[in-house]
């Protein structure tokens, strides 16, 4: 007999320029069920959520809600259908009261005036259902993150939603707040609401979810009953894939005694007591969940962000970087994870982008020499096989892979001793990916210290000789050696198990 | 690589649009009113271009940085009044000018520090400074202009009233400043950082550019340009008035933007700004010559601004796409 589902998605495919984010995935959620959606970063979870929530349409595939076909074109339409979406980054108006946020766009009114009495009363009623102990008159910016989350949930519930999507709701909550949230989820479930729960944290999934669906690389893997399985099963489903020969061979000549970079007890706002060393000839990988503090560690170590404590040695000499320029002058460079917003000068030419970190090298005195600029750019365009129509063209005309190579060229021009690459191949197609991996390997062989930070486990495992795993601002452990380097081992450390 | 011929290369420049519009405007007026291009009229255009032009150069640099400077007029009035006031108190005029320059540097440092270290929006900071600086001018003069007849030495007045080979000194000073600014902005590595910061401040920070220092330096330079305009107008009019250059920021912004300077930062040139201010002043002068009421001036200036920017936007919509003149000339 066929079970009836509240929500069904079938054969959903989403094609983005250059990548297929979702490939024929399915998802079935019943009434009164808490359904977890699992997968690594980039597995396609958020893409599917956004499609269900009406943020963008699928390229192909069908969705059904209570047996009827739906095609939400925008979040408002999704709301009307009965789908509520609580984003990881909350979307409330910070300067309005909780009540106004809950009833935004549909404030109760008497003639043409807002009926504030009714507004406060209704809002307080909705909030009290969730055990909120604050008044609905309070301004959002005065509430804690978990209270704000309650407001978001209250907003969705008061819209009579039947399917509530919670995107990593616990990522910024304390243990106590998480418990409270789970109570709310539990109550909603009793009332017959279906909840789609996205989380990286295994214990949570087992605590409140009935079913779990796993995605991998944009494909549907399986749906399991949480009662019948354990966390090993989920992790296996999430990561079980063939690595093949996508990655360059590992280093054969790491010089254990020669430490290029040594960090001791580095502390910053979002990480504590990080110590590690980078040896000549090796590529050191940093793995961990998004938001674990990996980028922050790197930025503090290069002097881009201030550090509160800690010492840094470069080739045995202690350094005290006051700003990024100091670090660059000593030969340490950092390539940002956010290429578009923090890495590129999108309106400027390829040439200007490539000379931006090293204007001294293309000048005589204070004057820029056009010829030297062209030489520098041409040199790295050739050396890194960057496909350009001409170095005077705007860098925005290049593909992601070629843009990244330009940025690599920009930093190679300072003849770095240490290159730190944050998400080296984010948003880059497979071909350019392996070119960049090979380049990194070549640099390491030439004696440049290479550190990569990556959220893609296959990449960090395929490229690095040694992996440090960061969990909530602390080094959770080290994984080295081919036998030990499994996604299970890394995920266990990264999720704090 | 094949070298394009001169005409094609010329029209590939962003400034080509303003240049052609300016030339066409001059020719049109000349046809209607043959007295337009006589020496006296040209001289008066040159003089009126110069003072606002100095401030337009400042605005151009501030806009390239991704900022804005609304206090240029106020700072000009303040420095004019400070130097005039001190001169009347018996100071040597050059020493008085030095004090005005120090005041200008102070203003620039204040604007720059507020924008970079404190992180306030430049619009607000310089709007405040507009009031502060003009306020100083009003306080010192108690509202009425100070006459300096007989107080200013000829050597000082020569800078703004004299002429060399028939060309007003004031215009020469402006052109020299513009040429220096153009060369520095285009070819020096210190000024290239301004473009980087304006294009993407975050990326500039991550390219190890000292963003704060660049910002502070720019606001100091802009304030100094306004100070120069203020001091020169003291010599020119023999009067220190707090009403000097009221609304000059609007003209200066218009000139920079007409010349192709982007409001979002990272793009712009002094040459374009120069042509922009010339276009505005030529049109003003033409209206006088054609006996059009002065009350039309603001109207026409506004229309030119909107038209020029629309034209520039439509023809340069996508960077890399040929502009209007390049299309006229065929494949580039």
- In B194-255 the beta strands, taken as DSSP E runs, fall at 239-240
For B:259-278, CB contacts with A below 8 A are 262, 266-267
Sign of CA dihedral A158, A164, A168, A169: positive
pLDDT tens-place string over residues B79-106: 999 999 999 888 899 999 999 999 999 9
- What pLDDT is recorded for position B2? 45
What average pLDDT score do residues B213-236 get?
95
Domain identity same for A339 and A480: yes
Percent of chain B whose predicted confidence (pLDDT) is above 70? 90
Q: Pick A203 or A81 by higher pLDDT.
A: A81
- What pLDDT is recorded for position B315? 66
pLDDT tens-place string over residues A53-99: 888 889 899 999 888 888 888 888 888 888 888 887 778 888 889 88
- In B251-307 the beta strands, taken as DSSP E runs, fall at none
B189/A366 Cβ within 8 A = yes
- What pLDDT is recorded for position A350? 93
Query: Under CATH, what is the fold of the domain B6-328?
Result: ABC transporter involved in vitamin B12 uptake, BtuC (1.10.3470)
Domain containing A230 equals 7-239
- What pLDDT is recorded for position A18? 60
Alpha-carbon distance A283 to A300, whole Å? 20
Name every chain A residue with its beta carbon within 8 A of the beta carbon of B12: none
Last residue of a domain, one of A208, A239, A270: A239
A345/B266 Cβ within 8 A = yes
Q: Does residue A344 lie in a domain region? A: yes
Of B189, B209, B266, the CB nearest to A348: B266
- What pLDDT is recorded for position A42? 64
Q: Are A256 and A423 in contact (CB under 8 A)?
A: no
Q: How many CB atoms lie within 10 A of CB A3?
A: 6
Is a pLDDT exceeding 80 seen at residue A419?
Answer: yes
Residues 6+ apart with CB under 8 A from B39: B166
Q: Does residue A90 lie in a domain region? A: yes
Q: How many CA atoms lie within 13 A of B95 on its CB side?
A: 7
pLDDT tens-place string over residues B186-214: 999 999 999 999 999 999 999 999 999 99
- What pLDDT is recorded for position A77? 87
Name every chain A residue with its beta carbon within 8 A of the beta carbon of B194: none
pLDDT tens-place string over residues B148-199: 888 888 888 898 888 888 899 999 999 999 999 999 999 999 999 999 999 9
What average pLDDT score do residues A174-178 get?
75
Domain identity same for A265 and A202: no
What average pLDDT score do residues B214-222 get?
96
Q: Closest approach of chain A CAs to the CA of B188, in angstroms?
A: 4
Domain identity same for A405 and A479: yes
Reduced to 3 states (helix: H, G, I; strand: E, B; else coil), residue A394 is strand
pLDDT tens-place string over residues A300-330: 999 888 888 899 999 888 988 888 999 999 9
Of A323, A357, A363, the CB nearest to B207: A357
A368/B189 Cβ within 8 A = yes
- What pLDDT is recorded for position A400? 80
Interface test with A, best of B64, B201, B203 (most A CBs within 10 A): B203
| Number of separate domains in chain A | 2
pLDDT tens-place string over residues A428-447: 766 678 889 999 999 998 88
- What pLDDT is recorded for position B10? 66
Domain identity same for A265 and A392: yes
User: Which range among A242-251, B70-79, B86-95 shows the weakest confidence by mean pLDDT?
Assistant: A242-251
Q: Pick B324 or B274 by higher pLDDT.
A: B274
- What pLDDT is recorded for position A93? 87
Interface test with A, best of B192, B202, B207 (most A CBs within 10 A): B207
pLDDT tens-place string over residues B247-262: 899 999 999 998 888 8
Alpha-carbon distance B73 to B79, whole Å? 10
What average pLDDT score do residues A370-375 get?
91
- What pLDDT is recorded for position B252? 94
- What pLDDT is recorded for position A75? 85
A343/B199 Cβ within 8 A = no
Q: Are A407 and A339 in contact (CB under 8 A)?
A: yes
Percent of chain A whose predicted confidence (pLDDT) is above 90? 23
B189/A304 Cβ within 8 A = no
Q: Does residue A244 lie in a domain region? A: no
- Cα B81 from chain centroid (whole Å): 20
Q: Pick B319 or A63 by higher pLDDT.
A: A63
| CA R_g for chain A | 25
- What pLDDT is recorded for position B293? 85
- What pLDDT is recorded for position A1? 36
Torsion-angle region of A406 (φ positive above 0: left; ψ -120 to 50: alpha; else: beta): alpha
A368/B188 Cβ within 8 A = yes
Domain identity same for A150 and A229: yes
From A348, which residue of chain B is nearest by alpha-carbon distance? B199
Using alpha carbons only, what angle is made at residue B91 by residues B87 and B92, rounded to the nearest 5 degrees?
95
DSSP 8-state class, residue A86: E
Phi, psi dihedrals of residue B196, rounded to the nearest 5°: -60, -45
DSSP secondary structure letters along A367-382: EE-HHHHHHHHHHHHH
A363/B266 Cβ within 8 A = no
A343/B190 Cβ within 8 A = no
- What pLDDT is recorded for position A152? 85
- What pLDDT is recorded for position B194? 95
Q: How many CB atoms lie within 10 A of CB B26?
A: 19
- What pLDDT is recorded for position A3? 62
Q: Using alpha carbons, select from A190, A136, A192 the residue that is nearest to residue A161.
A: A192
Is a pLDDT exceeding 80 seen at residue A172?
Answer: no
A368/B208 Cβ within 8 A = no
Domain identity same for A350 and A421: yes
- What pLDDT is recorded for position B1? 41
B266/A347 Cβ within 8 A = yes
From A397, which residue of chain B is nearest by alpha-carbon distance? B320
From B186, which residue of chain A is nearest by alpha-carbon distance? A368
Q: Pick A149 or B106 by higher pLDDT.
A: B106
- Both tokens of A440, joined, read 């990194």
Residue B40 contacts A, CB cutoff 8 Å:
no
A360/B207 Cβ within 8 A = no
Residue B319 contacts A, CB cutoff 8 Å:
yes
Domain identity same for A206 and A261: no
Q: Pick B17 or B96 by higher pLDDT.
A: B96
Residue B207 contacts A, CB cutoff 8 Å:
yes
Domain identity same for A297 and A405: yes
Segment holding B160, helix H or strand E: helix B154-161
B192/A366 Cβ within 8 A = no
Domain identity same for A298 and A337: yes
Using alpha carbons only, what angle is made at residue A87 by residues A83 and A89, rounded to the nearest 5 degrees?
165
Last residue of a domain, one of A209, A239, A269: A239
Full strand arrangement of the beta sheet holding A68-70 = A68-70, A60-65, A7-16, A19-29, A219-225, A211-216, A34-38, A194-198, A163-167, A83-86
Among A249-253, A279-283, A479-483, B67-71, the range with the most confident prediction by mean pLDDT is B67-71
Q: Does residue A248 lie in a domain region? A: no
What average pLDDT score do residues B290-306 get?
86
Q: Are B62 and B215 in contact (CB under 8 A)?
A: no
A345/B206 Cβ within 8 A = no
Reduced to 3 states (helix: H, G, I; strand: E, B; else coil), residue A437 is helix
Q: Report the CATH number at residue A175.
A: 3.40.50.300
Domain identity same for A234 and A272: no
Question: From chain A, which residues contact B within 8 Å (Cβ)?
Answer: 304, 323-325, 327-328, 334, 336, 341-348, 352, 356-357, 359-360, 362-363, 366-368, 393-394, 396-397, 410
- What pLDDT is recorded for position B332? 35
Q: Does residue A1 lie in a domain region? A: no
The ipTM is 0.82
Q: Pick B161 or A399 by higher pLDDT.
A: B161
Name every chain B residue with its beta carbon within 8 A of the beta carbon of A363: 189
Reduced to 3 states (helix: H, G, I; strand: E, B; else coil), residue A294 is helix
Percent of chain A whose predicted confidence (pLDDT) is above 70? 95
Q: Does residue A17 lie in a domain region? A: yes
Mean pLDDT, all residues of chain A: 86
Q: Does residue A2 lie in a domain region? A: no
Q: Closest approach of chain B CAs to the CA of A415, in angstroms?
A: 14
């Amino acid at each position: 007999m066929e079970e009836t589902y509240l929500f069904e998605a079938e054969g959903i495919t989403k094609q983005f320029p250059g990548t297929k984010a979702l490939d024929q995935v399915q998802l079935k959620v019943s009434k009164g069920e808490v359904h977890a959606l699992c997968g690594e970063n980039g597995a396609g979870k958020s893409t599917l959520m956004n499609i269900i929530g009406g943020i963008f349409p699928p390229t192909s595939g069908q969705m059904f809600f209570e047996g009827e076909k739906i095609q939400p074109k925008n979040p408002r339409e999704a709301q009307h259908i009965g789908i509520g979406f609580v984003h990881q980054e909350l979307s409330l108006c910070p300067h309005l009261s909780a009540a106004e946020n809950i009833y935004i766009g549909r404030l109760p009114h008497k003639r043409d005036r807002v009926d504030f009495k009714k507004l406060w009363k209704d809002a307080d009623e909705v909030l009290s259902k969730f055990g909120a102990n604050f008044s609905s008159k309070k301004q959002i910016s005065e509430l804690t993150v978990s209270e704000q989350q309650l407001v978001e949930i209250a907003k969705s519930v008061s819209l009579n939603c039947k399917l509530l999507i919670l995107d990593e709701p616990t990522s910024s909550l304390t243990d106590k707040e998480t418990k409270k949230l789970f109570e709310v989820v539990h109550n909603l479930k009793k009332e017959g609401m279906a909840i789609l729960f996205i989380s990286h944290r295994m214990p949570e999934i087992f605590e409140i979810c009935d079913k779990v669906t796993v995605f991998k690389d944009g494909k549907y893997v399986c749906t399991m009953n949480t009662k019948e399985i354990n966390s090993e099963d989920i992790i296996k489903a999430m990561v079980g894939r063939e690595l093949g020969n996508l990655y360059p061979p590992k280093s054969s000549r790491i010089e254990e005694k020669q430490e290029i970079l040594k960090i001791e007890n580095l502390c910053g706002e979002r990480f504590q007591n990080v110590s590690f060393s980078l040896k000549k000839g090796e590529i050191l990988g940093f793995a961990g969940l998004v938001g674990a503090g990996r980028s922050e560690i790197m930025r503090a170590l290069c002097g881009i962000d201030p550090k509160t404590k800690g010492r840094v040695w470069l080739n045995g000499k202690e350094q005290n970087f006051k700003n990024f320029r100091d670090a660059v002058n000593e030969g340490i460079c950092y390539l940002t994870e956010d290429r578009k917003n923090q890495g590129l000068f999108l309106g400027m030419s390829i040439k200007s982008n490539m000379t931006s970190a090293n204007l001294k090298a293309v000048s005589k005195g204070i004057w820029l020499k056009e010829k030297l600029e062209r030489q520098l750019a041409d040199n790295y365009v050739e050396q890194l096989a960057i496909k350009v129509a001409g170095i005077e063209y705007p860098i925005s005309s290049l593909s992601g892979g070629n843009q990244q190579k330009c940025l690599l060229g920009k930093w190679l021009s300072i003849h770095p001793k240490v290159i730190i690459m944050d998400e080296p191949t984010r948003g880059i197609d497979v071909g350019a990916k392996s070119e960049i991996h090979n380049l990194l390997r070549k640099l390491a062989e030439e004696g440049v210290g290479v550190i990569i930070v990556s959220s893609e486990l296959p990449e960090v495992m395929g490229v690095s000789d040694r992996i440090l795993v960061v969990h909530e601002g602390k080094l959770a452990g080290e994984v080295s050696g081919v036998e030990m380097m499994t996604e299970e081992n890394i995920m266990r450390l990264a999720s704090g198990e | 690589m094949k070298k394009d011929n001169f005409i094609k290369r010329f029209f590939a420049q962003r400034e080509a649009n303003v240049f052609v519009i300016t030339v066409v405007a001059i020719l049109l007026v000349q046809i209607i009113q043959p007295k337009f291009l006589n020496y006296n009229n040209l001289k008066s255009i040159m003089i009126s271009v110069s003072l606002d032009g100095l401030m337009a150069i400042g605005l151009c640099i501030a806009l390239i940085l991704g900022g804005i400077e609304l206090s240029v007029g106020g700072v000009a009035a303040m420095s004019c009044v400070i130097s005039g006031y001190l001169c009347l108190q018996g100071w040597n005029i050059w020493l008085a000018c030095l004090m005005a320059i120090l005041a200008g540097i102070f203003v620039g440092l204040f604007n720059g520090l507020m924008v970079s270290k404190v992180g306030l929006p430049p619009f607000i900071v310089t709007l405040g400074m507009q009031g502060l600086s003009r306020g100083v001018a009003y306080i010192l003069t108690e509202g009425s202009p100070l006459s300096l007849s007989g107080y200013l030495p000829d050597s000082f007045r020569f800078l703004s009233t004299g002429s060399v080979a028939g060309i007003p000194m004031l215009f020469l000073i402006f052109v020299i400043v513009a040429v220096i600014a153009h060369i520095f902005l285009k070819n020096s590595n210190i000024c290239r950082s301004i473009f980087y910061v304006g294009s993407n401040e975050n990326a500039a920070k991550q390219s190890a550019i000292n963003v704060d220092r660049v910002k502070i330096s720019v606001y100091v330079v802009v304030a100094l340009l306004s100070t120069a305009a203020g001091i020169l107008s003291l010599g020119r009019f023999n009067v220190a008035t707090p009403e000097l250059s009221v609304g000059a920021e609007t003209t200066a912004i218009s000139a920079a933007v007409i010349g192709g300077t982007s409001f979002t930062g990272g793009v712009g040139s002094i040459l374009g700004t120069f042509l922009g201010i010339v276009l505005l002043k030529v049109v003003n002068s033409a209206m006088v010559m054609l006996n059009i009421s002065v009350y039309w001036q603001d109207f026409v200036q506004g229309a030119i601004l909107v038209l020029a920017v629309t034209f520039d936007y439509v023809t340069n919509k996508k960077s890399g796409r040929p502009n209007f003149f390049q299309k006229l000339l065929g494949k580039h």
